[in-house]
Amino acid sequence: MTDSTFSLFDEWGPEKIVVVSDRKTGMRGVLVIDNTARGTGKGGTRMSPSLTVQEVARLARTMTWKWAAVDLFHGGAKAGILGDPAGPNKEGILRAFARTLANEVPAEYVFGLDMGLTEEDAAVFLDELGDRGASTGLPRALGGLPYDQLGVTGYGVAEAAEAAAQNSGISLQGARVSIQGFGAVGQAAATRLRGLGAVVVAVSTASGAVHDPDGLDIDKLVELRAAAGDACVQHYGAVLPAGAALDVDADVLIPAAREDTINDVVAASTNAKLIVEGANLPTSPTSRRILHERGIIVVPDFIANAGGIVAAAHSMAARYSPFVVKPEDVFTMISDKLRDNTAAVLNESNSAGLTPHEAAYALAEKRVLDAMKLRRQVPQASTETIDVLV
């Protein structure tokens, strides 16, 4: 491993980094198991032509905090495949990836869905390893819970948005919402927010953005997305640059695309009153501080977008059961968990004078550290060292 890879390790993890390859298919991939003090490693599996080990490690750490924040007993982990998800040999690459990780899956890690993978891909993991517990996000026909089809993550983002609005004295009824990213998360968030009375005024994809101050036709955009993918915005109407969704006049901003999208410039210029992080890691520590000093409320990613892992935990608990998971039960659990967590984090932020991220990290870190202590995973050290970990 390179020195830069070793720099990823700290007091929390990772516990294991497994880099794999397959000569026949050209598959190259990585699994990062960050911290399993609270349970088996669980996190999505992504496929991207620009994937890096550092990227997967960052996401695995986010999963550690996400599981702890929702107080569900799994550990942080993430996997990734370097490649084009639209390539001609995707199934062969997925099968090779699963085979090379047969020692870790499902004993130490359970596959899930992230960028570039679908429910059909989860079925490939199951078939290759012959274990229903190898992956979450399975198609309904295999007894799974189809996350993307149900939109559980985006639904949770919308629930967190309403909880934050209520906590902060902001009315979501008639509030203007801009959503950066219109994949599974952005679509589901837009649909649910519309049902809660908000008006979605802007949406972006990698192909551009569309904006209408009077509100977009979400049903039309969803239909176009199914037919044309990211080009849905081009078919909808006049197209702005993709970054425009971060700059339009809106009360609520939802970054639901990739990491590192809200930089210091955006943080200093946005007129949103509320930012709800639908994507993982869309803000930086400095941009969060700027937003906090401007009085803009931010619901952290591992609080707001935890709907998917709540659903995953629900389906994992029933993975060897003959009974099919009921979506209505999952939506109720997501709403209850995310609304309560959002309110708790924002209340602690206000009372302790912390940014919402600082309050959320403190909550999650304490839970992980408590488990590490009980499992004798913390070095015999002074109180000062333990305080640094917290």
368-to-33, 101, 291, 358 alpha-carbon distances in Å: 14, 26, 28, 15
What is the helix, strand, coil percentage profile of the chain, to 5?
A: 50, 15, 35
Q: What DSSP character marks residue 105? A: T
CA distance 111 to 212: 39
Choosing from 24, 42, 66, 78, which is the catalytic residue?
Answer: 78
* Active-site residue, 78 included: yes
Residue 188: CB partners within 8 Å, gap ≥ 6?
150, 151, 152, 153, 154, 155, 157, 158
**Maximum CA extent, the chain:** 62
Residue 275: CB partners within 8 Å, gap ≥ 6?
252, 253, 254, 255, 262, 283, 291, 296, 297, 298, 299
CA distance 192 to 157: 9
Q: Which amino acid is at 298?
A: V
Active site residue ranges: 78
